[in-house]
Amino acid sequence: MMCVRFRTLSLSILLLIPAALGTAGDLADVKTRGKLVMLTFPAVEDPFVAVDVEAMRTAGLKLADMRDPEAFHGVDIDLVKGFAQSLGVKLEMRPQTGGYGELLPALLAGQGDLVASRLTITPKRQEAADFSVPYFSQWAVAAVRPDSKLATLSDLKGKRVAVMKGSSHYEFLSTLNLNPEIRLTGYNMESYTAVVEAQADYALMDSRAAVGEPVSAQFADLKVGVRVHRSDQGVMVRKGSDLKAALDAYISGLRASGELEKILAKYGQGGAASEK
């Protein structure tokens, strides 16, 4: 079991921030090249960003080399694909395979124009990047086994937690003063397995379920033990990028027309976030 200490943003990320400032011409650059590049951390089965494994095998490519948006599906894919179409450009995927922690550095290094990956808007991320208006809200929850007695935030103190490296959950843990024993994972499925196999007492995961209900259809063997905090999800762009204003207008239009609700419902995720 891996125990780690919390760290702030690494020096390498902070050094990238000045180079990313003053990017007001991102929208013109995208239109000039005729292509919008989306950074993401996909999974095999995820309602927001999932990769078609069969398409990957047919193409004979590794995940990191997949560029065709038709080989991916989910809420974020539909959202950004529609945004690209509204700009009159093509969408190109740029999957990151090392976890959520790779997304911000890749964006700041200019490897993509935006990040859409079930990404929670957090204060630390907002220090280095901008976010669109939120389009989805949920809860960060303590996902526990059905027989677990963990029912309050104080119950989680000193317990073993499975949490994805680089995730908003890992960032938020340091503010809770729970003194947890941390097991870092690469995917939600690893966190789920750790709890099911009693290698962790709970996992921090996203859910809209009420306390006591299954976390989700995918992780039905775990229940919501504690709702830890509400989280809003948005698309991330570089600081000062004029893509933010275009994204905000596009998402607001989807919300007003009812199309945002349709996209969420298509993937079993009803209810858009309120506009802020």
Query: Cα(206)–Cα(229) distance, rounded to whole angstroms?
Result: 10
User: What is the mean pLDDT of the segment spanning 69-86?
Assistant: 97
Query: Cα(270)–Cα(141) distance, rounded to whole angstroms?
Result: 18
Residue ranges per structural domain of the chain? 11-135+234-266, 138-232
Query: Cα(241)–Cα(20) distance, rounded to whole angstroms?
Result: 9
pLDDT (0 to 100) of residue 22: 42
Contacts of 167 (CB under 8 A, 6+ apart): 99, 100, 120, 204
pLDDT (0 to 100) of residue 6: 35
Q: Kindly report the number of other CB atoms within 10 A of residue 73's CB atom.
A: 21
pLDDT (0 to 100) of residue 7: 38
pLDDT band with cut points at 50, 70 and 90 for residue 2 = very low
Say which residue, 30 or 22, is predicted with more confidence.
30
pLDDT digits over 183-231, tens only? 999 988 999 999 999 999 999 999 999 999 999 988 999 999 999 999 9
pLDDT (0 to 100) of residue 155: 97
CATH tag, 138-232: 3.40.190.10
pLDDT digits over 130-154, tens only? 999 999 999 999 999 999 999 999 9
Give yes or no on whether 11-135+234-266 and 138-232 have one common fold: yes
pLDDT band with cut points at 50, 70 and 90 for residue 262 = very high
Say which residue, 275 or 72, is predicted with more confidence.
72
Q: What is the DSSP letter of 100?
A: G
As assigned by CATH, the class of the 11-135+234-266 domain is alpha beta
Given the structure tokens 């630390």, which residue do they identify? 124
Contacts of 102 (CB under 8 A, 6+ apart): 41, 96, 166
Exposure b/e, 186-207, CB count within 10 A at least 16 = b: eebeebbebbeeeebbbbbbbb
User: What is the mean pLDDT of the segment spanning 55-61?
Assistant: 91
